[in-house]
Amino acid sequence: MGIRIVGTGSYVPATIRTNADLEKLVDTNDEWIRTRTGIEERRIAGADETSSTMAIQAVERALAQSGIEGQDLDAIVLATITPDHIFPNTAALIQHHFQCKKAFCFDLSAACAGFVSAMETGFSMMKAFPEKYRRVLICGSDKLSVIVDWTDRNTCILFGDGAGCVLLENDGTDTPDCLLTSRLFADGGYTDVLQIPAGGSFMPASEESVRNHKHFIYMEGRETFKLAVNAMVSASEEVLAKAGVTTDQIALVIPHQANLRIIQAVAKRLGVGDDRVYCNIQRYGNTSSASIGLALDEACRTGRLKRGDLVLFTTFGGGLAWGAMLIRY
Ligand code: UT7
């Protein structure tokens, strides 16, 4: 079995919101945001853009690169925490756009661990049922600007909108698979540090929930920061040890883009130099489910990655959900 990445794609909206723009919304400043997070600007989707429309743009690029037609997809796994609707699932809207009528579609909610979770799921389906799932689209797309409280300086500086995807194909040969090993974790005991309190069955939407800003991201930043570094490092170490791969053999680490200081701390503890760590947080902030897919596509298209390179993903986010994955591009 040879499950390979045959295409990557990404999309970010055209509108840029700079740190200077945020200074007009909340009591913050460019210097604080840059030094504490590394973020310089983020993209904000237009009123007519949604998680599905952004994903579709990214998918168009991956399909064009692979030469595969949309209608030939066997499954679509979409990671998002900002679905177009509660139901139907947003993957089905992508399926409808590309008219891949036979594709099994579903959304997956794992916040910032979404893209890696979708990879794990789609790849596992292909391994388990190669006849059914030969071409699987893995996508992460989030319009976080609609769940960010633009009056909360603790969180509004961090997030942006975007989409990223990969197209996996099983070519039926004995070429080694692209996914070498992975380890994903969750701990539901930390809902109080990172969540959207309202809008689900726990706290349905009400005038009060809207008035109290309960439909927006709530995060205990400092606590999340500490947990993130330790979790990303230990998951990465576990995956590398399991694969028998040393950090010297990794061409590129693509970490979830939550905070430049988190990325640097993780890289330092893993002993990987900055030149082998992919960062685009400066331009996009944290795009949650899209983050790693977006970074992977940029790394491929700008020549930072070459075929055969080993790449380490590591991620952390709401759930809590975190993990690491080793792939060969
Ligand atoms: O992707 C999901 C996972 N998310 C993360 O991993 C994010 C993890 N957390 C972080 O990235 C960081 O904790 C933040 C960037 C959110 C905050 O940075 P920090 O260095 O942890 O700052 P802090 O929360 O400890 O706040 C330090 C000070 C506080 O003032 P006092 O109490 O020292 O007077 C804050 O009120 O900075 C203040 N502050 C701000 N000042 C200017 C908080 N936000 C801002 C702001 N502008 N936007």
The CB-side HSE value for 82 (13 A sphere, CA atoms) comes to 30
Residue 136 has what pLDDT? 98
Known catalytic residue at 286: yes
Alpha helices in the chain (DSSP H): 19-23, 30-37, 51-66, 90-98, 114-128, 207-211, 221-243, 260-270, 281-284, 291-301
**What pLDDT was estimated at residue 301?**
97
Residues 6+ apart with CB under 8 A from 166: 5, 7, 8, 9, 62, 119, 137, 138, 293, 296, 297
Nearest CA to ligand 1 atom 47: 28
Cα 127 to middle of ligand 1, angstroms: 42
Does residue 22 have its Cβ closer than 6 Å to ligand 1? no
The amino acid sitting at 158 is: L
Give the predicted TM-score (pTM) of the model: 0.96
Q: What are phi and psi of 140, to 5 degrees?
A: -130, 130
Would you tell me how many other CB atoms lie within 10 Å of the CB of residue 326? 23
Active site residue 213: no
Domains of the chain from N-terminus onward: 3-170 (3.40.47.10), 179-328 (3.40.47.10)
Known catalytic membership, residue 215: no
pLDDT of res. 226: 92
Which residues does residue 185 pair with via DSSP β-bridges, in sequence order? 322
pLDDT of residue 114: 98
10-residue averages of pLDDT along the chain (329 residues): 94 98 97 98 98 98 96 97 97 97 97 98 98 98 98 97 98 93 97 95 97 97 94 98 97 98 97 96 98 98 96 97 98
Tallying the residues shown for the chain, one arrives at 329
pLDDT, position 199: 96
Ligand 1 centroid distance, CA of 165 (Å): 30
Q: Which is catalytic among the residues 100, 112, 139, 165?
A: 112
Say if CB 19 and CB 40 are below 8 A apart: yes
Q: Do you find a cis peptide bond into 320, omega within 30 degrees of 0?
A: yes
- Token pair listed for 193: 């540090």
pLDDT at 48: 97
The two tokens of residue 296 are 């992977």
Q: Is 118 in the pocket of ligand 1 (CB under 6 A)?
A: no
Q: What is the pLDDT of residues 71-127, one digit of tens each?
A: 999 999 999 999 999 999 999 999 999 999 999 999 999 999 999 999 999 999 999
